[in-house]
Structure 1
Amino acid sequence: MTTTNAAKSTNLSLRDMMLVSMFTAILAVLAYVAVPLPFSPVPVTGQTFGIMLIGLLLGKKRGVMAVTLMLLLGAAGVPVFSGGRAGLSILVGPTGGYLFSWILSVVVIDALKSKIQGFKGAVIASLVGGVIVVYAIGVPWLAISTGMSLGAAFIAGALPFLAGDFFKVAIAAITAARMPKNLLRQ
């Protein structure tokens, strides 16, 4: 199947493919905004901010494609995970649940943003999709993969990140609100 036929079969325009690629690249660059914590296998990373932006700006279809592409690139060995890491071992390791949660995060952010318009909707969508969904999947995965109790996993893999996540929610909502509406039109 040629590239043109593949794009037509999924109803992707050249603009869609460019946006998916661009946001995948942004997400990969944000992997290098990472601060390891000595008490947790989960680093502070800029990628959750990227997930919020993807959900707010790209919508479900293109957003899921951007995140899936990033996960596939990382699985194939391209250094797109936090701190420039890559490989299948990252996807099945302690942070794998956070990474896989991003697909659902984008879907939830888009759904909530569609129901609650404006800045308030962007904040609520980012908070629920970009924080709650990520922790609801990432923390139990962390507990199972490391043998921690769920409480210990919450303390190591969620609690230290909440203040930064609230900051990311605010910045993502402000950024989305200031984006020209026609730049990312559906």
Structure 2
Amino acid sequence: MKTHDITRIAVMIAVIIVLGYIPPIPIGLIPVPLVLQNMGIILTSLLLGRKNGSFAVGLFVILAFVGFPVLSGGHGGAAVFVGPTAGYIYAWLVTPYLLGSLLRGHTHLAWEISATILVGVLFINLCGVLWLSATTQLALSKALIAGLVFLPGDLLKSGVAILLHQRLRRFDHSTVPEK
């Protein structure tokens, strides 16, 4: 791994952690708050691709698992990985690989938007809702309906991540998806 890659991985882990310091917004319907960290996961996936993005998100998740308070609201530790929000975290682990695979060799904005919505919004939310339903005794239909509250914000966060990726790609040609 090159120094350039290690630096970019470290910066993106820092971005994800900083987004976690922005207080989560409880929604009351379910024990899952609105957070900005998933925008960092999406941005990491877009900027670093599937290999380095997966490495960065994996390291971030390991930091959370061993107890560093890097998750939104200052949370961390193994207990988070069995709680109601764990499905989202597990989805984060595979998001860079999935999104990076879909974007591999594609540079069209429409393709990037579609792939980001599919993986960064729908996949993450589906995993989160399925886990939530399984761990809280909430009926799957009710969990799916409650999960709809996240879609507008996640679409907005994905749009911001795409915009940042498009802007940064102009300055650094190494952010072009892997071929």
TM over 0.5: yes
Structure 2 SS opposite 1:144 = helix
Q: CA deviation at 1:163?
A: 0.7
Partner in structure 2 of residue 181 of structure 1: 172
Q: Percent identity?
A: 33
Residues 61 and 93 of structure 2 are in contact (CA less than 8 Å); yes or no, is this contact kept in structure 1?
A: no
Distance 1:122 1:22 in 2: 22
1:55 to 31, 42, 45: 45
**TM superposition score normalised by structure 2:** 0.90
Gaps of 5+ in 2: none
Higher relative contact order structure (alpha carbons within 8 Å, sequence separation ≥ 6):
2
1:22-101 aligned within 5 A:
22-33=11-22, 34-101=24-91
RMSD: 1.6
- Cα deviation digits, residues 97-128 of structure 1 (max 9, x gap): 10010122111211222254222122112101
Distance 1:83 1:70 in 2: 15
Partner in structure 1 of residue 148 of structure 2: 159
Structure 2 SS opposite 1:174 = helix
1:129 to 114, 119, 133: 119
Segments ≥4 residues shifted beyond 6 Å = none
Residues 30 and 47 of structure 1 are in contact (CA less than 8 Å); yes or no, is this contact kept in structure 2?
A: yes
Gaps of 5+ in 1: 1-11
**TM superposition score normalised by structure 1:** 0.87
- Cα deviation digits, residues 66-93 of structure 1 (max 9, x gap): 1111111111111111111111111111
Q: CA deviation at 1:35?
A: 1.2
Q: CA deviation at 1:183?
A: 5.6
Distance 1:86 1:26 in 2: 17
Distance 2:72 2:143 in 1: 19
Distance 2:65 2:93 in 1: 15
Distance 2:97 2:88 in 1: 15
Structure 2 SS opposite 1:39 = coil
**How many matched pairs?**
174
Greater Cα offset, 109-118 or 22-31: 109-118
Distance 1:29 1:73 in 2: 14
